[in-house]
Amino acid sequence: MPYELGDVLISRENIDERVRELAWDISSTYGGRDLVILGVLKGAVIFLSDLIRNLPVSMATELDFLGVSSYGSSTKSSGVVRIIKDLDISITGRNVIIVEDIVDTGLTLSYLVNILRERDPETLDVCALLDKPSRRKTDIEIAFRGFEIPDEFVVGYGLDYSGKWRNLPEIYTLVTNP
């Protein structure tokens, strides 16, 4: 079934403003403590890049990435999570923030949180650009939330459909092409 871009759901200006606010919230919460920021590939890369550039220079951060798959080329999560790339660093005893592009059913993120908690970090929080609570199938705590959105498939600003539209500076809805 072919898809095309719908309307702009969140403008570039609104994204920029909210990312600055999230960086402020993170720096206020963690003060002078060092952080490990874990990006969930590939969708969170653009958000994570903007987020860490807005953190204070004095806040020491280390980056690592997790690669997971639960969508394939569908617009609905399969519910089956595969780790494609694991961490390169130890998070034991460290302050960790998982940076995610979108929380939908919460199944993927819940799986990641459970696996990472087994590695004994000092703290483990979640920062998500988008939250779609109407689709939630598991209880997951999001400490730093960008935007709550309706139950629509979205692309842009790192989010894709079958590898397309990650490069868009805004977030768009995706609609079925009749």
List active site positions. 104
Amino acid letter, 55? L
Spatial CB neighbours of 146, under 8 Å, sequence gap ≥ 6? 15, 18, 19, 22, 47, 128, 129, 130, 131
CB 152 within 8 A of CB 176: no
| Euclidean distance between CA atoms 102 and 111, whole angstroms | 15
The two three-digit tokens of residue 158, written as one number: 């790192």
| Euclidean distance between CA atoms 171 and 154, whole angstroms | 6
List the Cα angle 169/164/21 in 5-degree steps: 30
Segments in the chain forming alpha helices (H): 12-30, 45-53, 107-117
